[in-house]
């Protein structure tokens, strides 16, 4: 059966195989990569993100500061030259719980898995691959809005317990 443009706009992926799918998307990105992630610690993904930065890709990441594993990941990515910011938590108990990746303003990965070892290899998770440009651009607009309020400095309010435990 021939593939139509509509058929190519959405694909749904499940484990096993999500780690490979995410890494391949990062490996093939050429210009820009925007990630907004609740928990980012998968070593293969971090390695591919650093390699993308070294290839000249503009890599920007927004992380949720309530996830302690993100502190080490942010340090690793910054050492590779990636631009990392912390989501602005403006209410007690609030979390940024998105799991999105935008690749060259053409592909959106959106789904349930955190980009951790468990999320991309072990857990029963699903990931939607979207190439419908209007949807990709909508996700990019949300990323830009969040980026504008995110901070490059780890929020001090977490250390005093104001927004919950780290």
Cβ atoms 115, 42 nearer than 8 A: yes
For residue 69, the model assigns a pLDDT of 94
CA count, 13 A, side-chain hemisphere, 120: 23
Q: Residue ranges of the domains in the chain?
A: 11-155
The residues facing 62 across adjacent strands are: 36, 85
Cβ atoms 119, 125 nearer than 8 A: yes
User: In a structure prediction context, what are the per-residue pLDDT tens digits for the chain, which is 166 residues long?
Assistant: 344 444 568 999 999 999 999 999 999 999 999 999 999 999 999 999 999 999 999 999 999 999 999 999 999 999 999 999 999 987 777 789 999 999 999 999 999 999 999 999 999 999 999 999 999 999 999 999 999 999 998 876 555 444 444 4
Q: Which CATH architecture has domain 11-155?
A: 2-Layer Sandwich (3.30)
Could you tell me the pTM of the whole model?
A: 0.89
């Amino acid at each position: 059966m021939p593939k139509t443009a509509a058929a190519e706009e959405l694909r749904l992926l499940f484990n096993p195989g999500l780690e490979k799918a995410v890494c391949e998307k990062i490996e093939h990105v050429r210009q820009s990569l925007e990630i907004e992630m609740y928990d980012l610690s998968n070593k293969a993904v971090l390695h591919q993100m650093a390699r993308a930065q070294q290839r000249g890709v503009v890599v920007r990441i927004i992380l949720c500061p309530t996830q302690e594993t993100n502190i080490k990941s942010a340090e690793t990515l910054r050492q590779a030259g990636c631009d990392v910011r912390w989501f602005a938590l403006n209410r007690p108990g609030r979390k940024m719980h998105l799991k999105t990746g935008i690749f060259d303003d053409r592909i959106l990965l959106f789904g349930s898995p955190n980009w951790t070892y468990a999320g991309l290899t072990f857990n029963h998770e699903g990931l939607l691959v979207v190439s419908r440009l209007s949807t990709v651009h909508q996700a990019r607009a949300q990323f830009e809005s969040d980026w504008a309020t995110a901070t490059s400095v780890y929020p001090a309010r977490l250390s005093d317990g104001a927004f919950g435990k780290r």
